[in-house]
């Protein structure tokens, strides 16, 4: 082996050992970043479980403030999800399948609550449906009051949660191949029958996961609710509001409510995963 | 008896087609990809609407620009088989075949009887409860045909009926298809890219080029037009 060959060879091996070292360092760096991020998410959630004994958790589950908030939250979030599905499904189907003037505007408006801060939604709803609001003043003439009632809780939830369902539903309808709808038409199905028997069943997985996401968002709603519906136990004090309120006195109750919401959140993620995997 | 005159502006050219078919006659459409063959079928079944023209099936005007008639797809009573067959993937074979009868609000007992009979005729009885998404190409083709014929359509449209069928099964399937069409005794339009389909299924052959009828007549006569570039390559295969 002459000298130049030897030099070249050592150069090559030095070069490759340097890239190997570099790659290892990069892997390490990514692993550290990933671990830090995961810890940042999991440590606070784990802390909830570590800061309360199982006995104290069960004891606070019997407290009226916790029970009231839990039942009110489940009832209002279910109602608002039902309302969102009833109004959102036809809207999503029409916007997925028909081109009309102003469709982009409708799409933008339905998406708006996602980017709108909840406090803005709260004051906006109050200005519309409050006793002296744009709509509320006329409702007041008939003795109908919405603000600071359970109805207001549901309206606030519908307002903030609807885009989660409508977006998902529209994407699911768009993913249904039109050929099935055309085939159904040639077999004698009216447009309504096509939607009921072909398009909706084929988009089913997406619709369910959209409804679950919308339910979860409604359950977590805080800002718009406290401004538009107030914070009255048993009437408008949902779980997030009760967490905020009890935190100042009964920390155990606050943590227990938070743990229930964490468990529901996990169940939601799991449910969405299962439903979307079974999708056609 | 079926007659069509349809004009429709497409992206690259204006489709302007005049055709007529007698009772029990099978017309085969051939032509380059994108010549407008499938569009003709979609115009007839009502999935697309002509800009101008008239479509008459038997005594009934399905579309007439002058008389402002446009019967919706679901009321045309035309069997339309798509190239991909478009079987409903969330239904079983029996549910697919029953679909059109249910749309017509036929009594349940009658639906069950018609479906059972049709499945037996098409040798599909064993597959009745199988999900439609789990069938082979040949099985899909038979189910799609059963789904259309159970409604006793007045006209049958077949878009590349054998394209998704396994090569080896194609000859037998073609023979079977021919029998089914003959038994139905209705006018039939078939779009194809295969010379064998044209030779064995066509009573009449029609060549479409850029949305116009370039030749229409006896299959041998049309296939004899060797000066035409498409015909020359079509018969060369």
Residues A45, A66, single domain; the answer is no
Facing residues of B6 across strands? B17, B53
Q: How many CB pairs under 8 A join A and B?
A: 64
Confidence of residue A268 (pLDDT cuts 50, 70, 90): confident
Task: Please list every residue in chain A whose beta carbon sits closer than 8 Å to the beta carbon of residue B90.
Answer: 201-202, 280
Cβ distance A183 to B73 less than 8 Å, yes or no, reads no
Cβ distance A180 to B86 less than 8 Å, yes or no, reads yes
In this predicted structure, the answer to whether residue B55 has a pLDDT above a threshold of 90 is: yes
Residues A146, A269, single domain; the answer is yes
Cβ distance B74 to A183 less than 8 Å, yes or no, reads no
Query: CB of A236 within 8 A of CB of A148?
Result: yes
In this predicted structure, the answer to whether residue A9 has a pLDDT above a threshold of 70 is: no
Which residue of B38, B48, B72, B88 to mutate against A (max A Cβ within 10 Å)? Answer: B88
pLDDT at site A278:
60
Question: Where is A58: in which H helix or E strand?
Answer: helix A54-61
Q: Give per-residue pLDDT as tens, A209-266.
A: 999 999 999 999 999 999 999 999 999 999 999 999 999 988 999 999 999 999 988 9
Task: Please list every residue in chain B whose beta carbon sits closer than 8 Å to the beta carbon of residue A183.
Answer: 80, 82, 86, 88
What residue of B is the nearest CA neighbor of A182?
B47
Q: Give per-residue pLDDT as tens, A105-124.
A: 999 999 999 999 999 999 99
Q: Which domains does chain B have, with CATH numbers?
A: 2-87+154-236 (3.40.50.300), 88-134 (no CATH)
What residue of B is the nearest CA neighbor of A177?
B86
Cβ distance B151 to A280 less than 8 Å, yes or no, reads no
Task: Please list every residue in chain A whose beta carbon sits closer than 8 Å to the beta carbon of residue B79.
Answer: 186
Residues A129, A101, single domain; the answer is yes
Cβ distance B99 to A184 less than 8 Å, yes or no, reads yes
| B131-157 mean pLDDT | 94
Residues A204, A250, single domain; the answer is yes
Residues A33, A151, single domain; the answer is no
Residues A28, A122, single domain; the answer is no
Confidence of residue A10 (pLDDT cuts 50, 70, 90): low
Cβ distance A190 to B74 less than 8 Å, yes or no, reads yes
Range of the domain at A181: 56-277
Angle at B157 between CA B153 and CA B158, to 5 degrees: 125
CATH code for the domain of A263: 1.10.3720.10
Residues A21, A156, single domain; the answer is no
Confidence of residue B235 (pLDDT cuts 50, 70, 90): confident
Cβ distance A198 to B88 less than 8 Å, yes or no, reads yes
Cβ distance A187 to B100 less than 8 Å, yes or no, reads yes
Facing residues of B55 across strands? B4, B63
Q: What is the edge-to-edge ordering of all strands in the sheet holding B69-70?
A: B69-70, B60-64, B52-57, B2-9, B14-21, B212-217, B204-209, B26-30, B188-191, B155-159, B78-81
What residue of B is the nearest CA neighbor of A279?
B90
Residues A26, A103, single domain; the answer is no
ipTM over cut 0.85 = yes
| A52-57 mean pLDDT | 92
**b/e A120-152 (16+ beta carbons within 10 angstroms → b):** ebbbbbbeebbeebeebeebeeeeeebbbbbbb
Q: How far is CA A230 from the centre of its chain?
A: 22
Residues A87, A204, single domain; the answer is yes
In this predicted structure, the answer to whether residue B149 has a pLDDT above a threshold of 70 is: yes
How many structural domains does chain A have?
A: 2
């Amino acid at each position: 082996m002459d000298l130049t060959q030897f030099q070249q060879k050592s150069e090559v091996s030095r070069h490759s050992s340097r890239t190997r070292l570099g790659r290892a360092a990069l892997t390490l760096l990514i692993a550290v970043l990933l671990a830090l991020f995961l810890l940042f998410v999991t440590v606070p959630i784990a802390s909830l479980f570590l800061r309360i004994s199982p006995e104290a958790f069960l004891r606070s589950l019997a407290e009226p403030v916790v029970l009231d908030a839990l039942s009110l939250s489940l009832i209002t979030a279910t109602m608002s999800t039902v309302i969102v599905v009833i109004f959102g499904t036809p809207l999503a189907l029409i916007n997925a399948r028909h081109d009309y003037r102003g469709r982009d505007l409708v799409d933008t408006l339905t998406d708006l609550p996602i980017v709108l801060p909840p406090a803005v939604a709260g004051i906006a709803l109050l200005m519309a449906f409050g006793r002296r609001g744009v709509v509320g003043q006329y409702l007041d003439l008939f003795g109908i009051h919405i603000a600071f009632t359970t109805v207001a809780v549901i309206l606030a939830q519908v307002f903030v949660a609807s885009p989660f369902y409508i977006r998902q539903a529209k994407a699911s309808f768009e993913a249904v191949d039109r050929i099935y709808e055309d085939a159904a038409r040639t077999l004698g199905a009216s447009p309504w029958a096509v939607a009921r028997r072909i398009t909706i069943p084929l988009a089913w997985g997406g619709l369910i996961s959209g409804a679950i996401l919308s339910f979860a968002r409604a359950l977590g709603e805080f800002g718009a609710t406290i401004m538009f519906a107030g914070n009255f136990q048993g009437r408008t004090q949902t779980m997030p509001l009760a967490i905020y309120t009890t935190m100042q006195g009964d920390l155990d109750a606050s943590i227990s409510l938070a743990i229930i919401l964490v468990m529901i959140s996990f169940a939601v993620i799991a449910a969405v995963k299962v439903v979307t995997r079974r999708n056609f | 008896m079926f007659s069509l005159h349809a004009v429709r502006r497409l992206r690259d050219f204006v489709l302007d087609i005049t055709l007529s078919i007698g009772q029990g006659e099978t017309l085969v459409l051939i032509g380059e990809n994108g010549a407008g063959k499938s569009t003709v079928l979609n115009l007839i079944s009502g999935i697309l609407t002509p800009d101008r023209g008239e479509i008459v099936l038997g005594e009934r005007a399905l579309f007439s620009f002058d008389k402002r008639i446009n019967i919706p797809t679901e009321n045309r009573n035309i069997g339309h088989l798509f190239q991909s067959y478009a079987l409903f993937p969330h239904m079983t074979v029996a549910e697919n075949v029953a679909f059109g009868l249910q749309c017509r609000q036929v009594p349940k007992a009658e639906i069950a009887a018609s479906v059972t009979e049709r499945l037996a005729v098409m040798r599909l009885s064993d597959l009745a409860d199988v999900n439609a998404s789990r069938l082979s190409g040949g099985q899909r083709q038979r189910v799609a045909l059963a789904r259309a014929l159970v409604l006793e359509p007045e006209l049958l449209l077949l878009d590349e009926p054998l394209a998704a069928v396994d090569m080896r099964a194609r000859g037998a399937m073609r023979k079977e298809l021919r029998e089914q069409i003959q038994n139905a005794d209705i006018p039939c339009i078939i779009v194809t890219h295969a010379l064998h389909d044209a030779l064995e299924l066509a009573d009449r052959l029609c060549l479409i080029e850029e949305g116009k009828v370039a030749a229409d007549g006896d299959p041998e006569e049309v296939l004899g037009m060797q000066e035409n570039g498409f015909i020359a390559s079509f018969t060369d295969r």
